[in-house]
Amino acid sequence: MFLGTYTPRLDDKHRLVLPARFREPLADGLVITRGQERCLCVWPVDGFRAATEQLSAAPLTSKSARDYLRVLFAGAHDEIPDRQGRVTVPQPLREYAGLARDCAVIGANTRVEIWSATAWAGYLTAQEDTFSALSQEVPPGLL
C-alpha cells in the first residue's frame, strides 16, 4: 500500500527521486501512465498487469473502453529505478501532467501519483469540502 505525500523535484535530466518508502515495491520495475485530472500514475509492474487484466475484460465493441485503453497504453512507459531510486519521466508524460520542477508524489493505495506541486495544491484545496461531506456517506466501520 502506498501512503503519504512527498515533494521531490525533477532534476535537469528529468529524473524524479522516488520517496524512500516507495522504492522497495517499485524496485523490480514500474509503469508510468497518464492518470485522471492531469496527474501521472505509477504502478508496480505486477499491479499494472493486474489492473490491465481487469480492463481487458471490457468488450472491444465498447468505444469508451477502446478510447480509454488507447490513451492508457499509448502513454505508458516502463522502467526500472536506478540505485538512487530515480526514474526518468518522459517528455510526453511531463507535458501531460504539467511537470516542470516541483512535484507532489502521493501514495494512492495500489499506485503512486505524480502531480505538479501547484496542481496538487489546487486539487487538494478544491476537494477538501467534498472530502468532509463524503465522510457522512462512508459505510459504518470504515472510519
Q: What is the pLDDT of residues 4-60, one digit of tens each?
A: 999 999 999 999 999 999 999 999 999 999 999 999 999 999 999 998 888 888 888
C-beta separation of 114 from 39 below 8 A? yes
**125: phi then psi, degrees, rounded to nearest 5:** -60, -45
143 has a pLDDT exceeding 60: no
What per-residue confidence (pLDDT) applies to 85? 96
What per-residue confidence (pLDDT) applies to 139? 60
Q: What is the pLDDT of residues 63-115, one digit of tens each?
A: 998 899 999 999 999 999 999 999 999 999 999 999 999 999 999 999 999 99
Euclidean distance between CA atoms 112 and 132, whole angstroms? 23
Q: Scanning the structure block, which residue is given the C-alpha cell 522502467?
A: 79
Task: Spell 112-142 as b/e; 16+ CB within 10 A means b.
Answer: bbbbbbebbeebeeeeeeeeeeeeeeeeeee
